[in-house]
Structure formats: C-alpha cells, structure tokens
Structure 1
C-alpha cells in the first residue's frame, strides 16, 4: 500500500470540510452534461467549487480506495490561486489545504 494513502485521504476530507464551511458545498449535482465537459476543470460548465466537489474529490477518493496508480504531480493549488486571485482572503484556508494535497501527492512514498 502506498504510504501516501492515509494522509491524502485525510486531506480530501479536510478539503470537503472547508467547502462546507465556506457554504460552497452543494446538495444537488450539476447536470450530466455539465459534468461531462471535456474542458480542463470543466471551466465551461462548472464553477471551480463544483469541480472540486463533483469531479476532483470523487476521482481522488476512488483512486485511493481502489489502490490505483496515483498521479505523481498535481497543480490544484495553482489553479485555485488563479480562480481566487480576486478574493484570496476568503479562500485562504482552502488554498492552504489544496497546497498540502499537492505536496502530499508529490512526496516519494
């Protein structure tokens, strides 16, 4: 088992918690069409928060649960910094959590 699994799983829970704290967690999923976007981060159909909730978190959890090969690099914090550049204070904790996810993912097991 990859030594990164437990810390990464914990980090995903912290990201989910922060989305809830910020009031950005949604009870209803976007449409199937919106979720099927071929654009990076579904920028044409979803907000970044929706992408985190409905695409990123489920995919990462599935990789961890199934023992699948994890990506060796992640740039999720950089993307979030672009999205929240106008409101860095509001998303400060979320940016920190995403940055820690990036660091955990790139650490050698």
Structure 2
C-alpha cells in the first residue's frame, strides 16, 4: 500500500474487514488538533509498509462505524486482521509507539 485510504460507513467492510492484509484505521475529525498532528505519521508509514493497509475515517461525516466500535475519543487508532479488531491505540502517540504496534500486529498476523 502506498497511501492512506479514506474509508466511509459505506466502504468500511470492503476496505477494512475484508482486507487481505492487517489494517489500521485512524478515527479522526478535521477540528481535532491531535488528529492533525499524527496524520503525517500514517502518511509516512503507508509509504513504507507494503504488507499493511492504513486507513482513516472522518467521525463527523461517518458516524455509523465509530458508533459500532464505541469510539468515544479521538484520535483513536484501531488495528484489524482477519475481519476482527485486534488492537488499538488512543491519543496522539509518538511515531515509535505506532511503529511498534504495527510490528506487533504483523508478528501476530503475518502476511503470506
């Protein structure tokens, strides 16, 4: 994958749950300053990891998915593999924390 994919309530299942690689979803909103701080990190990682999908969903424009996954604060990053949520990070965390989480998810759910 080479760029962050914008997902919506309509394509979440296709892009995330049916993905053949582990996937990170960044729950964000344009008014959220911490969200805007971490966004470039995901852009960078999306270019580096070919075996991992990075997505983002605007919680204001797409309320169904955040409600389904009980997102109560943003930024919230959820990690999915094999159609299930497998991990999460809350808040504007440093790049190294995100890298470590991606590596952990890839260890637990290797891509063949």
Q: TM-score, normalised by structure 2?
A: 0.28
Task: Give 1 or 2: higher helix fraction.
Answer: 1
TM-score, scaled to structure 1: 0.28
Which is strand-richer, 1 or 2?
A: 2
